[in-house]
Every structure is written in C-alpha cells, then in structure tokens.
Structure 1
Amino acid sequence: MSTTTTDGFSAAERAAMKERAAEMRAEGRKGAKKADGLQAVLDRIAQMEPEDRVLAERVHVAITTAAPELAPKTWYGMPAYTNADGKIVVFFQDAGKFNYRYSTVGFQDTANLDDGDLWPVAYALKAWSPAVEKKVIELVRAAIS
C-alpha cells in the first residue's frame, strides 16, 4: 500500500473512492435489483484474503439471518447492508482493504445503537467464535429496532 500522497489520499483510499463512484453509477442504472447488490457483496467477499474471507462470510450470514430485511450491496468496495430507505446500516471492512491489522464491523448513523452521549459504532474483528457471532447478531438486531 502506498503512503499518503500530496493530495492527502493513499492509493487504497483513491481505489475505494473509485469503487464508490462505480457503485453509484450501477445504482443509477435502470433495472438494478437487490440481487445485483447481493452478487456484488458475494463477489467482493470472494476477492478477499482467506482470513478476511472467512470473517466476511460469517458476518454476512449473521447479518442476513438476523436481519433479512436489510439489503446487501457494496459501499466503497465493502460489503454493506441497507434499510428500506437504501441507507447503510451496517458494513464489513476487511483488514486487507486498507492494510489494517484487523477487520471491522461498523454501523452508520441509521443504526439504532444510541446509548446516552457516547456509544461505539465500530468493532474490531480478529476471529470468529460463538461469542462473537452472538454479539454481532445482538448489535444488528438493536441497529434495526
């Protein structure tokens, strides 16, 4: 991964912005369907490094099982899940995306996770376990409540 360039964006950040622009063009075309979003998510997961792919697959299953009303799509090249209004609720960022040491499950402001004046909206994810699965499902169910 290249470091920050003179305009302030790394090569990985530039690539993510280009992915988002392509996603927006695809969303704008006539006939785009929920199935297109699902296929884009599955294709993106298949491109991940093996360790990230395993986590992404488990996160995908947990989200789609706990909240089948959320629609899958890619967002800045990451698997994401939207509400009926088409707004991102939850996303998965693989560690390889920006060369991080852990993957992330994150929530956008449409998620109902508010807890007073301060609450977490992103969670580092290094390994999958029954406890992690339970927590992700609880968070997703709270986010859509």
Structure 2
Amino acid sequence: MSSTESGTHEGFTAEERAAMKDHAQELKTAARRSSRADKAAEAKRDVLAKIAEMQDSDRIMAERVHAVITAGAPALAPKLWYGMPAYALDGKVVCFFQSAEKFKARYATLGFSDQAKLDEGTMWAAGFALTEVTADVEARIAALVKRAVS
C-alpha cells in the first residue's frame, strides 16, 4: 500500500480484495479434495463453472480460450487462480484468462506467468489483450501455449 500526497492511504480495490478472497477459498477447496484424480476433475468443473458465470462476451472468449488450451496443451491442468480460469503444469500456473469484467477493464486478458517458456532475448510479452477470439487469434493462442510448455 502507498500514501498519496494528500496523506490518505491507498489500499487494494474491491476487485483486488475479491480476487484474494477467491484465491484463499480455492486453496481451502483444493486441500479438502481427496485423491489427485478427484482434484483434477473437480478443478476442471470449477473452471467451467466460473466461465459459465461470466458475461456474454467474456464467457464466449473464455470458452474458446479454454478449448484451445486444453486441446493444444493437454499437459496443462485447468484450475482456478484468484477466481480466474488458469492452466497449470505440475501445479504451477502457466497461463490464465482474465475477464474484462473482473477488474472493470475494457478488454479481457490472456496472461502468462514466469513459468511459461516464452522468453525472447531480454524482453517479451507476457500478456495479451483480447476483444474477440477469431480463428486467427485461436491459432496464435495455440502457438503461444505450445511454446509456453515446450
């Protein structure tokens, strides 16, 4: 947290606090699940349920992103991460979909963590704005995800 020039204290936004609460609940839920297979199946159901809750344009994009990622990188396991659909390798998030609605942004985001192998020299993109998922965008996502887990 930081202070502004007027001396008032800036804190987390309501959306950021909600994301942190989502993450705490996700950790509790995962800890309660018994077997590894149960955890994976229920985590996938959680992701699909979260996608189904999204508003129309975000939901449509999230469904297409989910389909591209799960088809193109079957080693990635769907899971919720701070209330967002995410895809992990060995339990570590590689990429995620952030709806525009989540943080009141003008576009959705496909983001990659530092686990993604997208390195290109000394600077590379780790997040991509999405306003629509077309066939060309699906192809770019598939290529990025494949590279991220290579």
| TMscore range, shorter length | over 0.9
> C-alpha distance in 1, partners of 2:33/2:93?
21
How far is 1:30 from its partner? Answer: 4.0
Question: Which consecutive unaligned segments of at least 5 residues does structure 2 have?
Answer: 1-7
User: Which residue identity is paired with 2:60?
Assistant: V
Q: Verify: 1:25 aligned to 2:32, yes or no.
A: no
Structure 1 stretches of at least 4 aligned residues deviating more than 6 Å after TM superposition: none
Given the alignment, which residue of 35, 47, 50 partners 2:56? Answer: 50
Given the alignment, which residue of 138, 144, 148 partners 1:143? Answer: 148
Q: Verify: 1:67 aligned to 2:73, yes or no.
A: yes
Matched residue SS, 2:85: strand
> C-alpha distance in 2, partners of 1:7/1:27?
32
1:49-128 superposed matches below 5 A? 49-83=55-89, 85-128=90-133
TM-score, length-scaled by structure 1:
0.93
TM-score, length-scaled by structure 2:
0.90
Residue by residue over 1:40-74, the C-alpha shift from the partner in whole angstroms, topping out at 9 and shown as x without a partner, is 10010011000100000000000000001110000
Identify the residue that residue 3 of structure 2 maps to in structure 1.
none
How far is 1:104 from its partner? Answer: 0.3
